[in-house]
Structure 1
Amino acid sequence: MKHFAIHINPAFSDQPGIFGLLEKLAEEYDIIFYGLQEQRDILPDFIRVFSLEWKPLPQIDCVLVFGGDGTILRAKKLALQTKAPILGINLGYLGFLSETTLTELKASIRDLLNCKYKLLNRMLISCHLKREGKIIYHNLALNDAVIYKAETPRLIHVRIFNGGRFVFDTRCDGVIASTPTGSTAYSLSAGGPLLSPEMQAIILSPINPHLLSIRPMVFPARDRILMKVYGLGEPAWLQVDGVNCVRIQENDEVLITASRQVVPFIKLSNRTFYQILRKKLHLGK
């Protein structure tokens, strides 16, 4: 590995410290660093700027993401289009998706150069918004796709189908469709189960359902989950990986399926998912 793309949380205060460390690594290990044009205002001169619109794209061997889990979610498109694995450097709070820290970065880069790492492929879900039978929006989610009631104080109605077969109808604040990676995020806050990131499954977690009998459910990744939204007093939101993407109108349908694409993450340590849960979520304590 010699070609690294950089994606950094622009709100992080000690950017000069990060860039100073990267410049030393570039000189010591003959590494070339790249950054996206959208971050060019904060990038120093030794980092080469490029656009995802370029054809061909520069060769990228790894995407270094400096920030928390939200920053890693924003780097999803960069990883997918360059077909490069992500190494998360945690500058945030929990950092479930991060593998290393800023103080460990030099040792981590040395391990990468010596091929001392493994790859963990994390599944994505494909989200289509259908209106009057036509697809008007599509996106991929690493964590989750969420139907949310938005500004209205009223509950909304969501009717769930799996492969054309009726599952349940619920009045709620919304529904979270999550990947196993996203099971430690918003879905967990809504009472959803914890799933190993190596699993292939789709979680549906209703948000504040009116009936206690409505519970989160886990579906095989091969299933096609359709959510029909109705009973709206005003438009709802479709959120993908924490970003409001498009308004949902009466009788719109959201189709959730497993994507054929995956996002590879670099794993440097032998820490298990369960060790991470015990450390960061205090599981069992």
Structure 2
Amino acid sequence: SHGKRVVLDKETAALMHQGDAVTRSKLPEACDFLIVIGGDGTLLSAARVVGTSGKPILGVNLGSLGFMTAITLEELYPVLERIFDEDFEYDERMMLIAHVHRMGERVANYTVLNDVVINKGALARIIDIETTIGDLYLSSFKADGLIISTPTGSTGYSLAAQGPILYPTLRTIVITPICPHMLTNRPIVIPDDMVVRARLRTRETDVFLTLDGQVGLGIREGDVIEVKRAEAPLRFFRSPFKDYFDVLRTKLKWGER
């Protein structure tokens, strides 16, 4: 009724047998905004597609409430009416860019919304990760791994590793060691204009870099993972029906007797 055109990614269009279709990577340039229906994992995948294009995302959950998919299917059409009437607000979430350097050459680049994780395999021994902030030495973490997270990602893997919960629109980076050998190695929060460099100092071959828990790359001794804030944030339509603390209470079961 609003005269809007719906564009689907090709995989979804093939299942629905209708709608204009483009490849997933072309969605940001083909649309004014994206509707992502699923869970937080689906949204993380879409976030990497949107990248720093500036196109906003409307996250709709199927089933259980998500930290990033806070709108239910029943709320979808009322929210769309507000968007078409330009009665809405955005939340901006910072993203991270990760560069992998090997033997002095950049071999991989990634954009993530949640986290960059260096992690040992199931059979590998403890690993040694030399970590610097800008030009300043922070620590050589001897641990099962290291999580470099956005505030949005602070309620993911970092939280399970005893990291802090950060309000998702903050502009900070969280560094959380995973099961560190030294109990005094605690998570640290730094400003978002600082660059984190983590160099693997172990000969273990069973070590991996994982991006948003969905994309992986094997890394080896001497590799440097450089992580910094992406130039543009990701924009989410804010739910008019619930706020972040409503979601937090529901997901973490706070206040229940």
1:254 match: 225
- Take 1:258 and 1:82, find their aligned partners in 2: how far apart are those partners? 15
Distance 1:56 1:267, change over 3 A: closer
Q: What's the counterpart of residue 166 of structure 1?
A: 137
Residues 1:152 and 2:123 are matched in the alignment: yes
Runs of 4+ in 1 over 6 A off after TM superposition: none
Greater RCO structure (CA 8 Å; 6+ sep): 2
Which secondary structure state, in structure 2, belongs to the residue aligned with residue 231 of structure 1?
Answer: coil
Correspondence 1:34 to 2:21:
no
- Return the offset for 1:280: 2.0
- Structure 1 distance, partners of 2:215, 2:27, is 29
Q: Residue 194 and residue 53 in structure 1: after superposition, are their counterparts in 2 closer, same or farther (change >3 A)?
A: closer
Cα distance in structure 2, aligned partners of 1:94 and 1:148: 28
Confirm or deny: 8 A CA contact 1:66 1:89 kept in the other structure. Answer: yes
For 2:75, the equivalent position in structure 1 comes to: 104
Is 1:200 the counterpart of 2:200 in the alignment?
Answer: no
Note the 1:226-241 alignment, pairs <5 A.
226-241=197-212
C-alpha separation in 1, matches of 2:131 and 2:117:
14
* Aligned match of 2:21: 49
Aligned equivalent of 1:176, options 147, 161, 170: 147
Return the alpha-carbon distance in structure 2 between the equivalents of residues 196 and 86 of structure 1: 19
Structure 1: which 5+ runs fail to align?
1-27
The one-letter code matched in structure 1 to 2:44 is: L
Q: Deviations over 1:134-185 (max 9, x none)?
A: 1111111100011111243311111111112211112111111000000111
In 2, Cα distance between equivalents of 1:228 and 1:198:
29
Count of aligned positions: 256
* Corresponding residue SS for 2:87: coil
Distance verdict in 2 for CA 1:165–1:284, change over 3 Å: farther
- The one-letter code of the counterpart of 1:209 is P
Normalising by structure 2, we get a TM-score of 0.92
- 1:62 matched to 2:62? The reply is no
The one of 87, 99, 107 aligned to 2:58? 87
Whether the 8 Å CA contact 1:157–1:232 is kept in 2: the answer is no
Note closer, same or farther for the CA distance 1:219–1:66 as it changes in structure 2 (3 Å cut): same
Mapped partners of 2:27, 2:162: distance in 1: 44
Secondary structure of 2:16's match? coil
Alpha-carbon RMSD across the aligned residues, in angstroms, is 2.1
The aligned counterpart of 2:106 is 135
CA distance in 1, matches of 2:124, 2:93: 35
Q: TM-score w.r.t. structure 1 length?
A: 0.83
* Bigger mean CA deviation after superposition, 228-237 or 270-279: 270-279
Opposite residue 50 of structure 1, the aligned amino acid is V
Q: How far off its partner does 1:269 sit?
A: 1.4
Per-residue deviation, 1:264: 0.5
Question: Identity, % of aligned pairs?
Answer: 31
Deviation at 1:82, TM superposition (A): 5.6
* Residue 108 to residue 193, structure 1, CA distance change in 2 (3 Å): same
Task: Measure, in 2, the Cα distance between the counterparts of 1:92 and 1:259.
Answer: 31
Say which is worse superposed, 79-88 or 260-269, in terms of deviation: 79-88
Provide, for residues 218-269 of structure 1, a one-character-per-residue CA deviation record: whole Å limited to 9, x for no partner. Answer: 1110111111112132141111111232110111111111111211000131
Amino acid at match of 2:175: L
Question: What amino acid is aligned across from residue 216 of structure 1 in structure 2?
Answer: P
Other structure's SS at 2:51 match: helix
Partner of 1:277: 248
